[in-house]
């Protein structure tokens, strides 16, 4: 038999690999996990996403999706279904676990909020620095009633005061060279509703 010809201990290693693969397949996502989402048909949707404390993730076009308690494969199917309406045929979606919550140092996480006229307002966390455009993207982008030219970035200063910086999303859409402000921990991005004649 082939097994008799294999080096001593190889069968045990193969069993360990098989059990590790089975464990990953059956892994249930939880808050604090980081997953990588890839969409073959549209690389602009590719991203690493943190499962938020409420157990959900947000993704452009797909919106807010419950991730906690699902396997990466089940989440993959849900994202594929959510994106199907925006493609001629259901897209090819891959979800893989980048790191589990036990590996993520919560002190390294940056928390920010996106409120108002966006597809999926809420509290978000990121492992790497994000700019205002990326913050809007994870919240699903400005809605149809958004006042895109007067988006606010509200930041608390050391003295307890608040600074408000305006961001013009319309200028970005028109291709203007707009400086993208980086989001700091605790920042609140507010997308107001546009007026009747705006």
Asked if 26 and 71 touch (Cβ cutoff 8 Å), the reply is yes
Q: Give SS3 for 148.
A: helix
Q: What would the pLDDT profile of 87-130 be if each residue is shown by its tens digit?
A: 999 899 999 988 776 655 556 678 899 999 998 888 887 777 88
Band the pLDDT of 198: cuts 50, 70, 90: low
Instruction: Find the DSSP H helices in the chain.
Output: 2-5, 10-25, 72-83, 132-138, 169-173
Whole-number pLDDT of residue 104 = 54
Task: Kindly list the distances between the CA atom of residue 186 and the CA atoms of 1, 112, 114, 156, 173, in Å, as whole numbers in the listed order.
Answer: 63, 5, 11, 8, 26
Cβ-count burial 14-53 (b if 16+ within 10 Å, e if not)? eeeeeeeeeeeeeeebeebbbbebbbeeeeebebebbbbe
Query: Average pLDDT of 7-35?
Result: 60
Burial class for 161, CB neighbours closer than 10 Å (0-12, 13-18, 19+) = exposed
Query: Average pLDDT of 20-24?
Result: 51
Look up residue 127 and give its two tokens: 């492992």
pTM over 0.85: no
Query: Average pLDDT of 19-28?
Result: 62
């Amino acid at each position: 038999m082939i097994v008799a010809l294999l080096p001593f201990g190889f069968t045990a290693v193969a069993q360990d690999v098989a059990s590790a693969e089975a464990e990953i397949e059956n892994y249930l996502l939880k808050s604090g996990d980081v997953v990588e989402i890839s969409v073959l048909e549209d690389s602009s949707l590719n991203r690493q996403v943190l499962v938020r404390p409420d157990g959900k993730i947000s993704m452009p076009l797909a919106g807010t999706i419950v991730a906690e308690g699902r396997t990466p494969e089940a989440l993959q199917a849900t994202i594929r279904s959510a994106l199907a309406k925006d493609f001629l045929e259901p897209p090819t979606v891959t979800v893989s676990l980048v790191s589990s919550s036990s590996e993520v140092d919560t002190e390294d996480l940056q928390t920010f909020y996106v409120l108002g006229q966006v597809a999926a307002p809420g509290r978000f966390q990121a492992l790497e620095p994000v700019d205002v455009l990326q913050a809007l993207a994870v919240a699903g982008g400005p809605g149809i009633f958004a006042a895109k030219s007067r988006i606010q970035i509200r930041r608390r200063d050391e003295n307890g005061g608040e600074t408000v910086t305006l961001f013009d999303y319309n200028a970005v859409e028109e291709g203007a060279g707009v400086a993208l402000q980086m989001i700091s921990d605790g920042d609140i991005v507010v997308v107001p509703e546009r007026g009747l004649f705006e």
